[in-house]
Structure 1
């Protein structure tokens, strides 16, 4: 009896009553509820729209007529109420609706907070297609100019997001993306927070190919960056990482101009020495 009772008040004059009714309906899986939630997406009250988005998002890909609902939810990405837009991005991520999320990132005047939520929603999908979008967006954000004030925030968020990929078959690709970005970032003088975030993410992914590229980040003189790099190196190679650093240091001393090995920069050599003091034998 609860479902018919709640449906009977979803058109009440009081928006708080409507919101409570819609929120209550989300707890049930009755097929007659979905059209009610879909209709509530157009409610003049932001509170009601939020409740409807949460309800539809919680159903994920089990929703009937998912394409039509995706279109309706996508409209709310640019809702005048930012909280509604954020919730729409969350719902679309749960529906794995990559297209609307990707396209929003190209729209002008989108708040940075919404862009970052869109990126997180894409990451939650954890599919090769979603990861490809994140890779492309990271590259674009690192190549952005000063005319785009969101580039730094977007790139920092993407670096952090890629480090949280949990699907083992996608972690190698995420690692490759970060290593490619690291190379570009060093060339373009990354900020300390970007460098530290990249070290943290590569440490979380813990793929062996990241060890030597991370060593180059030790050239950064700031202690917070170096400590994050050291923590990542320990996670990537806990058993032999210190010996590898010691070998790099000794090789640089013995053969500083070996033709097949680029010499360590003074900053990297100093960074390795610092790491060795912080990594007990």
Structure 2
């Protein structure tokens, strides 16, 4: 009878491991067919030896073997993770690998680590492992929320549930949506915002008046992603007060969120924000970005009008936003050309404006912009000329002579 080549590979792996030649041992194990790895005690012993004694790369590679071993790998890994006397990196790898096993005892062990361990790196990897297990961990975590568990345990359960993007987490997350910790409320709103469930939008709208700015911002972002509900729920009116929130980050998130809503009224609201003398510069920049993303004719009109009416320091940012318009590219290019011809072609040049206009015209892709770009390519400023030439190269299939 011919020798079993698989058995020989296990022997080779064992011999290599005995000599500390981890990479060879790992290679031998990876070549084994799955049916010879599953439940194989010898493979498990070799894998554990490498996991404890190898360097980081060796451990990373041998970790891929453990899920193939099946149930027999769970208890040794649990022992490894719970051994307080060994190196933290060994425990870290053990916890990470356990995330591959959707078993009640694994979930319980990982929860126990998060509740009791003081090593932040190990706690973080245990949270990640529970998140990877996903639905198998939801029952255990939900049970923690349903009891009078200590605050630290509730925080852990909410944190993990918020990271498991599965519809089974909706109910338990809704049950704690008014948690006293604003950081947890923020996590909950961010998680719920990823689901299209009819129970959620009213809850998000209610959180627009939360006492914590981070929660209000999370609610704004979540609602702005529900463009399908923009009209039926009148989202622009619900969000409008947040443009004037006491927290500037909330205001900025609201302005940017408006760009996602298919409601023509948002252009008016953003324009009013942009031209107001009371609007902080950072918020004006958000309004400029939002109008550029909207890209409708009315949005482009507002941006071009603002070039004349507001602080000239913002003009380059406005031109950049116009140059990124997708919906009305030809229209935007015509207005930019008209603006340049009327304001700068016969007056004192503005190199920063000219550079941005050249780049914007190149991005907008209208071949009719070439004559204006040719004029810009004769500018006295080297950088203006370079931007103009680059834009012409984008627009024209045939090289133009710029020496005439």
- Fold in common (TM above 0.5): yes
Render the CA deviation track for 1:34-82: whole Å, top value 9, x for unaligned: 0110011111111101110111011124346432x31221111122221
User: Structure 1 residue 218: deviation in Å?
Assistant: 3.1
The whole-number CA distance in structure 2 between the counterparts of 1:177 and 1:51 is 36
Correspondence for 2:106: none
In 1: Cα distance, 2:279 partner to 2:306 partner: 15
| Structure 2 residue 242 is matched with structure 1 residue 76 | yes
Asked whether the 8 Å contact 2:358–2:391 carries over to 1, the reply is: yes
Alpha-carbon distance in structure 1 between the residues aligned to 2:271 and 2:316: 18
Note if 1:191 corresponds to 2:360: no
Gaps of 5+ in 1: 142-149, 250-281
The question of 1:133 aligning with 2:294 is answered no
Normalising by structure 2, we get a TM-score of 0.54
Q: Secondary structure at the match of 1:44?
A: coil
Deviations 1:228-267 (A, max 9, x none): 111112222231422xx35xx2xxxxxxxxxxxxxxxxxx
1:217 deviates by 1.9
Query: 1:107, CA displacement in angstroms?
Result: 2.5
The structural deviation recorded for 1:152 is 2.4
In 1, Cα distance between equivalents of 2:245 and 2:347:
36
CA distance in 2, matches of 1:120, 1:217: 26
1:163-212 per-position Cα deviation (integer Å, ceiling 9, x unaligned)? 11223xx2111111110121112344342211111111111123222112
Aligned to 2:337: 179
Q: Confirm or deny that 1:220 pairs with 2:379.
A: yes
Within 5 A, what are the aligned runs for 1:45-84? 45-63=212-230, 65-67=232-234, 69-84=235-250
Instruction: Decide whether the 8 Å contact of 2:275 with 2:309 is kept in 1.
Output: no
Q: For 1:110-259, list aligned pairs within 5 A.
A: 110-141=279-310, 150-153=311-314, 155-167=315-327, 170-183=328-341, 184-242=343-401, 245-246=402-403, 249=404
d(CA) in 2 for partners of 1:81 and 1:45? 10
Relative contact order (C-alpha < 8 Å, sep 6+): which is higher? Answer: 1
Aligned-pair Cα RMSD in Å: 1.9
Distance 1:107 1:66 in 2: 28
Higher Cα Rg: structure 1 or 2? Answer: 2
- The runs of 5 or more residues in structure 2 that have no matched partner are 1-167
Structure-2 separation of matches of 1:133 and 1:179: 16
SS of residue in 2 equivalent to 1:239: coil
1:209–1:63 CA distance, 2 compared to 1 (3 A): closer
Distance 1:179 1:27 in 2: 42
Task: Decide whether aligned partners of structure 1 residues 240 and 227 sit closer, same or farther in structure 2, where only a CA change above 3 A counts.
Answer: closer
- For 2:349 and 2:290, the matched residues in 1 are separated by 25
Residues 78/188 of structure 1: CA separation in 2 closer, same or farther (3 Å cut): farther
